[in-house]
A and B are shown apart, each in its own frame.
Chain A
Amino acid sequence: TQLLEQSPQFLSIQEGENLTVYCNSSSVFSSLQWYRQEPGEGPVLLVTVVTGGEVKKLKRLTFQFGDARKDSSLHITAAQPGDTGLYLCAGPNNAGNMLTFGGGTRLMVKP
């Protein structure tokens, strides 16, 4: 069974601070996806990383896929209250027919 572990589970910071969220596994993934879920809504895809060592940027968010494709990180620069939400990493299982989700990181950015 492929497991994805996210850390931290919960993060409360002030507006303007930087933060990093981690998604780790002992298994190799062909790709990893990051989603953000806001209260009362479904998860929304932020990015998919496919190549080991890949770095993708989405405004103030920087996503990195580990060289060995076993881990990924999400770095947010100058966090804003609008970044508040549940951040989920997810990857395809070995059979490639479903996603395995990490446990999520709940981020709260205070004004």
Chain B
Amino acid sequence: DTEVTQTPKHLVMGMTNKKSLKCEQHMGHRAMYWYKQKAKKPPELMFVYSYEKLSINESVPSRFSPECPNSSLLNLHLHALQPEDSALYLCASSRGGARVEPQHFGDGTRLSIL
């Protein structure tokens, strides 16, 4: 069982809907990440939170809005998505600090935009 929990596992939404993806970890990690992964491709980094502050935004469109309510939770708010946003969205966490540590991934949310 993964130590990073993502909900929901699957999500189908229309282009006008608003939904949120959730990620939770209780390993005391202080760095959390959102990735987007298309079929047969590696994960692409979207956002990095370090000590609950947004430290990296990889030029992600504003229709994706991340939020880190506390050190254990990470959300990704979705609004007015496009069909090309359909993908597997992965959350990951690591210990944080000055060096990039190995990352623990959740099993992802598979998102389909109609």
Measuring CB to CB, which residues of chain A are less than 8 angstroms from any residue of chain B?
30, 33, 35, 40-45, 48, 86, 88, 92-93, 96-99, 101-104, 106
Query: What is the distance, in angstroms, from A43's C-beta to the closest C-beta of chain B?
Result: 5
* A97 / chain B contacts, CB cutoff of 8 Å: 48, 50, 55-56, 100
Query: What is the distance, in angstroms, from B19's C-beta to the closest C-beta of chain A?
Result: 20
Query: What is the distance, in angstroms, from B55's C-beta to the closest C-beta of chain A?
Result: 7
* A40 / chain B contacts, CB cutoff of 8 Å: 107
* B48 / chain A contacts, CB cutoff of 8 Å: 97-98
How many A-B residue pairs lie within 8 Å, measured between CB atoms? 56
Query: What is the distance, in angstroms, from A96's C-beta to the closest C-beta of chain B?
Result: 6
Task: Assess A104 versus B100: contact at CB under 8 Å? Given A42-B92, A42-B107, A42-B108.
Answer: no
Measuring CB to CB, which residues of chain B are less than 8 angstroms from any residue of chain A?
2, 4, 33, 40-43, 45, 48, 50, 55-56, 90, 92, 98-100, 102-108
Query: What is the distance, in angstroms, from A53's C-beta to the closest C-beta of chain B?
Result: 20
Query: What is the distance, in angstroms, from B37's C-beta to the closest C-beta of chain A?
Result: 9
Task: Assess A92 versus B107: contact at CB under 8 Å? Given A97-B56, A103-B41, A104-B42.
Answer: no
Residue among A45, A88, A92 making CB contact with B100, cutoff 8 Å? A92
Please give 10 more A-B residue pairs, beta carbons under 8 A apart, in addition to A42-B107, A97-B50, A97-B56.
A33-B102, A42-B106, A43-B43, A43-B105, A45-B102, A45-B104, A48-B102, A98-B48, A99-B100, A99-B103
